[in-house]
Amino acid sequence: MTDDAANSASGAEAGEYLFSGLRVIDCATVIAAPAAAMMLADFGADVIKIEQPGEGDMLRMLSHIPSTPEAGNDWFWQMDGRNKRSLALDLKQPAGKEILYKLVAGCDVFITNQPLDVRASLGLAYEDLQPLNPRMIYASLTAYGEQGPERERKGFDQLAYWARSGLMDLMRAPDTTPTQGLPGMGDHPTGVAVYAGIVTALLQRQRTGEGGMVHTSLLANGLWSAAGIAQGVLAGGDMPAYREINKVNAAMFRVYQAADGRWLQFNMVRNEELLSLALAGMDALHLLTDERFMTLEDMWANRKALGDELQAIISTRDSAQWLDIFTGLGVPVNRVALVEETLRDKQITANNMSLPTDGAGIAAPRLLNHPLQISSVAQVGPVRAPALGEHSAQVLAELGYSASEVARLRARGVI
């Protein structure tokens, strides 16, 4: 990392970025909470990541597990660990805790997702740290919430966000087994929620001078994602009827496989005009005179039969041919994308949904960007995610530790 890049990542060039000069302690692991810290770093905050010496954050190895694609580099760590400084610190040793407390005393934001019992044993709870820095924003992420009988249950996004919220049950074809989630599928949107809470609390602090505690959970974010159904339950909705009706989708809410094996989605075809245009494009207007489909009510009652008729037609041409036809008619049909197409997707690159890594020392040619883009706010980087403990000596020097003291701490395994 160049000196200029390090300065940009740490927010040392005061005023260059929105959060330049903001000190953030990332005392969290894996994805959701560290992703929120990364977003603050992307807008100029000096993010110091606390990691266990010798092991580091498990996020460092997620690029090499069987449920992620092997690329021969640490792309997961680079995506969510970028633009930070790393301090390897053993918080089980008194000297390590003393260093952390000094950092807390001078920070603006402290982020953690450590289990509540671990926080209590290490002295990392809000009640422990708030007296050291009343202006601090303490951001807490838990699996199931701060209160209640499951408050101390451990979990990650596939358990708490995906399974416990009910999403895992809802997002499957009828009479099939629930599907496991993708790595980080709930973590990344939850990270945005953590970030939003922090920024809201910072605005409150700017107005009142008071710090405070921000908290959310994977379960809360999973329920929010399922709100289009879950709120119906809270309103007294008839879920047995809902489940029975949705065993068979409306014809325009099915996906259809074209001759090339790709799938087409017609969900935006939601009125009679668009339906007529779609049928015209498929040379299937004769279906409107079929006694099974003559009215919208008939189409709903015989929705499986109508869908089967449309599938037989769609299977006769490649998806690209169908897209050309429907685009020409102004019918909003989508092809179900393959994630393999992301690198060459012009829509993604044109809107900075992924970022080039030229000159950043990152093996991956592009990194996914977080979804927040603000025309008046400059974004850092991406700057290479740090090696474990890369900035330990630097951070301790900023706290007033001499070179000999740093050497002793290193010899004792504190850093």
Q: Tell me if residue 145 falls in helix, strand or coil.
A: coil
**Record: fold of 251-339:** formyl-coa transferase, domain 3 (3.30.1540)
Q: Which residues pair with 105 in a beta bridge?
A: none
**Rg, C-alpha atoms of the chain:** 26
**Tens digit of each residue's pLDDT, the chain (415 residues):** 233 333 333 333 446 999 999 999 999 999 999 999 999 999 999 999 999 999 899 999 999 999 999 999 999 999 999 999 999 999 999 999 999 999 999 999 999 999 999 999 999 999 999 999 999 999 999 999 999 999 999 999 999 999 999 999 999 988 899 999 999 999 999 999 999 999 999 999 999 999 999 999 999 999 999 999 999 999 999 999 999 999 999 999 999 999 999 999 999 999 999 999 999 999 999 999 999 999 999 999 999 999 999 999 999 999 999 999 999 999 999 999 999 999 999 999 999 999 999 988 999 999 999 999 999 999 998 999 999 999 999 999 999 999 999 999 999 999 9
Q: Using alpha carbons, select from 187, 198, 186, 193 the residue that is nearest to residue 40.
A: 198
Q: Which residues pair with 138 in a beta bridge?
A: 110, 213
pLDDT in tens, 121-174: 999 999 999 999 999 999 999 999 999 999 999 999 999 999 999 999 999 988
Show me where the domains of the chain are located.
3-226+352-411, 251-339
Architecture of the structural domain at 3-226+352-411: 3-Layer(aba) Sandwich (3.40)
Q: What is the C-alpha separation between 87 and 7, in angstroms, rounded?
A: 16
Q: What is the C-alpha separation between 301 and 139, in angstroms, rounded?
A: 51
Cβ proximity of 319 and 335 under 8 Å:
yes
